[in-house]
């Protein structure tokens, strides 16, 4: 608890005594009390709901398309393989070449995260930049449907990675200058959990186009890319004309609401700014041990998520289902993961227990992969049940991990950089994920992939506990941020 001199005060100068307000952790929640000096809770809620209606559904829908276009290669990999019409068979690829295609996509995805967010921060309005990215990967996805060679697949997926790289970190950055710290996890979950819906929809779409195989002279996997590519390109208009850019420029807010929207974020030293960060702020954001721990924690969780994105249909097919039926069966873990993600994210912020919840979910996920690895390869029902629980253990971590990182950046001026650095590990994790699910181990139930995912899940749990304890100590010791300002570090 702060000393009286540093305690939050109301407009008349009287001290707000946090202990008597029934808060679980007054130190962490004092920023919620400070907001009373501007407006009451009802005003915050009314403004949040107004922003939510404009921003979140649009971002969630476009991120769903982003994930569909990213993960459809996993669906196409085995679709209609019984008739010799899968993506691998048509393009003359084997498991090794498939992994190479994903690896090059992941390299491009990692390389362009930071440049994309720097462009977004300093030069281009969010609606224009994200619209440009969206149209680019949509057009390339459509083009992928008409490829006939492995070389073409390599080049096209490489450029899809370039365009997709900046989309999610761009959304994360936008959310940080529209929402306060304690409001972010659930909003990020509503966006990032749409990746779970994308997995579910992708399975449904793949199941449907699997029955269109050779219709109009196109194989089922080509129809998959045609539908998703065209849909993405058409939705670009939504981004360009309807995505809110900055609070101070929002025409759908009154003058008072604009002022309030900016002030309530500024209270937590946040908000949009093109101001350059100092060398120390940049170094602390990129190489500080605490931020590196955040990035590594995100990496270990995303390694598991990426495994399921690119190999879930393959894993399910290995449980004894046909290639078309396997597409439909993947809907179950993705759909349940979406529901759990929303509940998880709301709880993380509401009860201020991000670290503990992430650790608990990751531990459960790790246990499930251990169980899968020791079950007989032919124990299809038990292995599928464990896979569903594992999905519900790793998918929900994505939003709280991202929100947690944005709450604790060394400086608000490096928010865009931090969001991009955090997302950079997605590509690196994907590279690892694609090489541990070995085709030669399919008949044995992919033991290497299961053990690696279990190890990564337990590592995520351990790192989350470490960060939780670290931030508790930093708050007790009143540790300053990189600008020398007082901070309340989020748990």
Residue 464 main-chain phi, psi, to 5 deg? -65, -40
The answer on 123 and 32 residing in a single domain is no
Candidate from 53-57, 265-269, 423-427, 446-450 with smallest mean pLDDT: 265-269
Query: Between the CA atoms of 171, 177, 182 and 186, what dihedral angle is there, to the nearest 10 degrees?
Result: -20
Question: Does residue 31 have a pLDDT over 60?
Answer: no
The answer on 301 and 158 residing in a single domain is yes
Q: How confident is the model at residue 134 (pLDDT cuts 50, 70, 90)?
A: very high
pLDDT score of 151: 92
The answer on 392 and 348 residing in a single domain is yes
Candidate from 34-43, 243-252, 255-264 with smallest mean pLDDT: 34-43
Question: Does residue 10 have a pLDDT over 70?
Answer: no
The answer on 150 and 33 residing in a single domain is no
Angle at 160 between CA 104 and CA 54, to 5 degrees: 135
Question: Does residue 484 have a pLDDT over 90?
Answer: no
DSSP state of 21: G
Average pLDDT over residues 123-152: 92
Q: Which of 352, 269, 267, 270 is nearest to 34 (CA)?
A: 267
Higher pLDDT, 203 or 425: 425
SS3 content of the chain, % helix, strand, coil (to 5): 75, 0, 25
pLDDT score of 451: 93
Q: How confident is the model at residue 318 (pLDDT cuts 50, 70, 90)?
A: low
Candidate from 290-294, 361-365, 372-376 with smallest mean pLDDT: 372-376
Question: Does residue 131 have a pLDDT over 80?
Answer: yes
The answer on 12 and 79 residing in a single domain is no
Rounded to whole angstroms, the Cα distance separating 18 from 27 reads 8
Question: Does residue 230 have a pLDDT over 60?
Answer: yes
Rounded to whole angstroms, the Cα distance separating 43 from 254 reads 13
Q: Is residue 273 part of a domain?
A: no
CB of 406 closer than 8 Å to CB of 275: no
pLDDT score of 1: 37
Q: Is residue 486 part of a domain?
A: no
Q: Is residue 252 part of a domain?
A: no
The radius of gyration computed from the CA coordinates of the chain, to the nearest angstrom, equals 23
The answer on 469 and 347 residing in a single domain is yes
Q: Is residue 241 part of a domain?
A: yes
The answer on 113 and 220 residing in a single domain is yes
Q: Is residue 324 part of a domain?
A: yes
Candidate from 59-63, 90-94, 306-310, 381-385 with smallest mean pLDDT: 306-310
pLDDT score of 6: 41
Report the percentage of the chain scoring pLDDT > 70.
Answer: 84
SS3 92: coil
Q: What CATH number corresponds to the domain at position 213?
A: 1.20.1250.20
The answer on 459 and 392 residing in a single domain is yes
Q: Is residue 274 part of a domain?
A: no
DSSP string, 305-332: HHHHHHHHHHHHHTTT--HHHHHHHTHH
Question: Does residue 113 have a pLDDT over 50?
Answer: yes
Rounded to whole angstroms, the Cα distance separating 466 from 381 reads 36
The answer on 342 and 204 residing in a single domain is yes
Q: How confident is the model at residue 370 (pLDDT cuts 50, 70, 90)?
A: very high
Q: Is residue 481 part of a domain?
A: no
pLDDT score of 327: 61
**CA 57 from centroid of its chain's CA atoms:** 15
pLDDT score of 321: 60
The count of other CB atoms within 10 Å of the CB of residue 381 is 10
Average pLDDT over residues 254-268: 84
Higher pLDDT, 350 or 284: 284
Residue span of the structural domain in which 11 resides: 1-37
The answer on 311 and 227 residing in a single domain is yes
Question: Does residue 198 have a pLDDT over 60?
Answer: yes
Q: How confident is the model at residue 3 (pLDDT cuts 50, 70, 90)?
A: very low
Higher pLDDT, 334 or 302: 302
Residue 23 main-chain phi, psi, to 5 deg? -80, 145
Question: Does residue 285 have a pLDDT over 50?
Answer: yes
CB of 241 closer than 8 Å to CB of 56: no
pLDDT score of 14: 38
Q: Is 414 exposed, middle or buried (0-12, 13-18, 19+ CB in 10 A)?
A: buried
Read off the pLDDT of residues 60-107 as tens digits, 9 standing for 90 and up. Answer: 999 888 888 777 787 787 777 778 888 888 888 887 888 888 888 888
Question: Does residue 154 have a pLDDT over 60?
Answer: yes
Domain count, the chain: 2
Q: How confident is the model at residue 210 (pLDDT cuts 50, 70, 90)?
A: confident
Q: How confident is the model at residue 483 (pLDDT cuts 50, 70, 90)?
A: confident
Average pLDDT over residues 104-130: 90
User: Mean of the per-residue pLDDT values for the chain?
Assistant: 82
SS3 15: strand
Question: Does residue 454 have a pLDDT over 90?
Answer: yes
The answer on 88 and 26 residing in a single domain is no
Average pLDDT over residues 463-491: 89
Question: And the tokens for 311?
Answer: 């190999």
The answer on 45 and 24 residing in a single domain is no
Higher pLDDT, 330 or 228: 228
What ranges in 179-288 are assigned the alpha helix state H?
Answer: 184-192, 194-210, 220-242, 255-266, 279-287
Q: Which of 402, 411, 415 is nearest to 120 (CA)?
A: 415
């Amino acid at each position: 608890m702060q000393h009286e001199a540093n305690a939050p005060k109301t407009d008349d100068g009287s001290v707000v005594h946090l202990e008597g307000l029934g808060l679980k952790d007054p130190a962490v929640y004092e920023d919620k009390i400070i907001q009373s000096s501007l407006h009451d809770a009802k005003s915050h809620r009314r403004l949040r709901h107004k922003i939510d209606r404009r921003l979140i559904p649009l971002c969630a829908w476009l991120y769903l398309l982003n994930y569909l276009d990213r993960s459809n290669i996993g669906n196409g990999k085995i679709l209609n393989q019984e008739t010799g019409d899968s993506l691998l068979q048509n393009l003359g690829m084997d498991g090794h070449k498939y992994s190479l295609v994903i690896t090059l996509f992941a390299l491009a995805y990692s390389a362009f995260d930071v440049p994309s967010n720097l462009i977004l921060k300093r030069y281009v309005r969010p609606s224009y930049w994200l619209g440009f990215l969206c149209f680019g990967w949509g057009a390339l996805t459509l083009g992928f449907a008409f490829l006939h060679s492995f070389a073409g697949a390599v080049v096209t997926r490489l450029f899809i990675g370039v365009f997709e790289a900046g989309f999610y970190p761009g959304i994360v950055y936008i959310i940080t200058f529209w929402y306060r710290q304690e409001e972010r996890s659930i909003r990020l979950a509503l966006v990032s959990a749409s990746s779970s819906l994308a997995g579910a929809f992708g399975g449904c779409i793949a199941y449907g186009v699997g029955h269109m195989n050779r219709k109009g002279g196109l194989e089922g996997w080509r129809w998959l890319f045609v539908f998703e590519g065209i849909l993405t390109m058409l939705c670009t208009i939504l981004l360009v004309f309807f995505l809110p850019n900055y609070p101070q420029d929002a025409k759908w807010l009154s003058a008072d609401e604009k002022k309030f929207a900016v002030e309530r974020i500024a209270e937590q030293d946040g908000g949009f700014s093109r101001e350059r960060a100092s060398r120390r702020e940049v170094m602390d954001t990129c190489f500080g041990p605490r931020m590196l721990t955040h990035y590594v924690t995100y990496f270990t969780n995303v390694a598991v998520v990426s495994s399921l994105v690119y190999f879930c249909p393959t894993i399910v097919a290995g449980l004894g289902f046909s290639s078309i039926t396997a597409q439909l069966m993947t809907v179950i873990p993705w759909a349940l993961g979406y529901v759990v993600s929303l509940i998880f994210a709301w709880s993380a912020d509401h009860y201020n227990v991000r670290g503990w919840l992430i650790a608990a979910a990751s531990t459960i996920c790790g246990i499930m992969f251990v169980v899968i690895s020791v079950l007989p390869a032919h124990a299809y029902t038990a292995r599928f049940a464990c896979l569903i629980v594992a999905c519900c253990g790793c998918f929900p971590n994505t939003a709280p991990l991202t929100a947690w990182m944005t709450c604790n950046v060394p400086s608000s001026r490096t928010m865009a950089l931090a969001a991009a650095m955090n997302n950079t590990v997605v590509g690196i994790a994907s590279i690892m994920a694609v090489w541990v699910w070995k085709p030669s181990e399919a008949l044995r139930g992919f033991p290497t992939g299961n053990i690696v995912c279990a190890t990564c899940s337990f590592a995520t749990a351990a790192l989350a506990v470490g960060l939780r304890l670290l931030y508790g100590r930093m708050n007790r010791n009143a540790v300053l941020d990189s600008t020398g300002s007082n901070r309340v570090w989020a748990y």
